[in-house]
Amino acid sequence: MKKKGRYVVEAAYLVPGICILLVYIVFFTLYAHDHAVCVHTVLETAIRGSYPDGRTSGQIRDDMERELAQKLSERLLWLQEERVEVQVSPVKITVLVSGSGSFLPVSGIEVRQELYRIRPCETLRRSRWMKMDGGQKNGDSI
Task: Note the pLDDT tens digit of each residue in 42-92.
Answer: 999 988 888 777 888 899 999 999 999 999 999 988 888 889 999 998 888
Distance between CA atoms of residues 83 and 60, nearest Å: 18
Ramachandran assignment for 46, one of left (phi > 0), alpha (psi -120 to 50 degrees), beta (any other): alpha
Cβ pair 83, 99 in contact under 8 A: yes
DSSP state of 133: -
CA Rg, the chain, in Å?
23
DSSP state of 105: S
Give the pLDDT confidence of 84-131 residue by residue, as tens digits: 999 998 888 999 999 888 766 677 889 999 988 776 566 566 666 555
Nearest Cα residue to 48 out of 65, 36, 31, 32: 65
Q: What's the pLDDT band for 5 if we cut at 50, 70, 90?
A: low
Exposed/middle/buried for 69, CB within 10 Å: 0-12, 13-18, 19+? middle
132 or 11, higher pLDDT: 11
Quick check: 4 pLDDT over 60?
A: yes
**Percent with pLDDT over 90 in the chain:** 39
Cβ pair 64, 115 in contact under 8 A: no
